[in-house]
Amino acid sequence: MADTSIIPPREEKRGDGTAYTKGTEPINPHLPPPAYIKAAHKALQHSTSSPISTWTLSSSPFSVHSTIPASTLSAAFTTFSPSTVLTTSLKDVPVYTPVSHPGLFILPSLLPPEIQLSLLNSLLITHLSSTDTNRTNLHLHYSLPPPPFSLLTAPDNHHLQPIDPSVHKPLMAHRARERKLRWMTLGGQYDWTNKRYPRAGETNHGEPTDLTEAEKAAAPLFPPDLSALISTLWPDIIPQAAIVNVYSPGDTLAPHRDVAESSNAGLVSISIGCDGVFMIARPEQSGEIKKDGEHEGAQGKEDGILSLRLHSGDVVVMSAEMRRAWHSVPKIIAGTCPEEIGEWPGEEGGGIARGWVKGKRVNFNVRQMWDS
């Protein structure tokens, strides 16, 4: 298994002498990023330099923190997708960590192409239309038929009907999947306005509930197949919520921090499709931290920013102090989707959307909302 939990939290002192544990202070989710982080994101977004071929864009040295044994990979993949047949033998996968950013872990090529395809099937065909536990940005304004309907296999001329016809017109399936589908939330539903997840004692949509603990434990909050994949690889993380971001070349994800969760368990981020540039900033080491988690004084330096080029099948884990670090996706690199997965969804639905993923980057990031 991937050992991403051995870095102990560090106790420090505030200016008033009171103690706090580094990385656990409440943070205001509405705070804007520091200017130097926004500038670095913009510079990467508009960079015209030719992308280098390695998986890192940074000169920061990396060390091998641990490895995931092939036996653990086999158990995880078999539990997740028993019918998937791998064409190559599994090998131990090294877990890298940048010396400058302890708590950040990079696992290049963790998922073989066959598992990437199975994951796309699970996310975008099986779970996309299942509204019991999942939502997409399309659900805000359109009615999506329940399973077995799938947007990725629907005929081009199928129309999604608007919830309010006075505001929106019917949306053709082709346009919806090519440009309108931007995100899906699974399990506990993220409140984009208030920037928070459901708390313990609420339903996965945030409403109060009088369910007993046993009933809540038995509720199908998070898709079981996806939970099995994550929890087998990272037993210290309980998958309770996930966001699937769908990018096209030209799309970006602005600098932000994932601070809505009550748990400090690590965040797992899986990339599929086109390469993407991932930027993350090292948390300030010397500035005083106020009780709301906002930094006073110096907020960091440009040399604390790490940029990575992530390929299809790569995984990033943000843990310890890096769990709540500023990060962004400033660039999607067109024409970089591997041939092995580029024809997905293939012949599904008569091949109507064959090659859809060739022009996309799909990011599946999983988090734990609260501690048991």
Question: Which residues neighbour 105 within 8 Å (Cβ) at sequence distance 6 or greater?
Answer: 2, 4, 65, 95, 96, 97, 316, 317, 319
**CA-CA distance, 270 to 317, in Å (whole number)?**
9
What are the binding residues?
256, 258, 327
Asked whether 225 and 120 are in contact (CB, 8 A), the reply is: no
Euclidean distance between CA atoms 333 and 311, whole angstroms: 10
Helix H or strand E segment including 333: strand 327-333
Residue 83 region, left (φ>0) first, then alpha (ψ -120 to 50), else beta? alpha
HEC readout, 39-102? HHHHHHHCCCCCCCCCCECCCCCEEEEEEECHHHHHHHHHHHCCCCCCCCCCCCEEEEEECCCC
List 96's β-bridge partners, or say none: 64, 106
The secondary element (H helix, E strand) that includes residue 117 is helix 113-121
Token pair for residue 232?
Answer: 């087998």
Whether the Cβ atoms of residue 68 and residue 334 lie closer than 8 Å to each other: no
SS3 226: helix
Annotation: binding site for Fe cation: 256, 258, 327
